[in-house]
Amino acid sequence: MEEAIYHADRGWAQYENVLETRLAAGPPSNRVNLPAHGYVSFRAANRGATQGYVANGMNKLKLGNLLENVSRPLGVVTANANLNAWTATLGAGRADLLAAALNRGNVIIEYYKYDGSPILTVQNGWAKHNE
């Protein structure tokens, strides 16, 4: 997980409405004035390691918990047919979806909140980028 926050100069309270308005029309392609956010990236080239990791039940639960926490309010960014059930799938089930999706390409998850709180308030000490 990259420890970086993008658009770090844009707080949740002031820019939440921009995100909500753009989401109403589908995933936002216009990135201007979106609130602070981070990314979790999984590379298809490392799919064997990821699939091996989730083969262990405890690891699958850990990864599922992470995927639950970083998936609010916006979910998966990359287009991948194996992720169509993402919103309806919770916890460890998301780890299974991710492992299968890596067979088709990289997966990038953009998130604005971690465990329900704005990323700027919970990820102190991370690199901050105002772009």
Q: Where are the domains of the chain?
A: 4-129
- Classify strands 117-118 and 113-114 as parallel, antiparallel or unpaired: antiparallel
pLDDT in tens, 82-105: 788 888 888 899 999 999 999 988
Q: Report the sign of the C-alpha dihedral through residues 75, 77, 81, 83, in that order.
A: negative
The pTM (predicted TM-score) of the whole model is 0.82
The residue type found at 12 is W
Query: Which 3 state secondary structure label does DSSP give 9?
Result: coil
> Are 83 and 113 within 8 A, CB to CB?
no
pLDDT in tens, 14-56: 999 988 888 777 766 777 888 999 888 899 999 999 999 999 9
The arithmetic mean of pLDDT across residues 64-84, rounded, is: 76
Distance between CA atoms of residues 20 and 26, nearest Å: 10
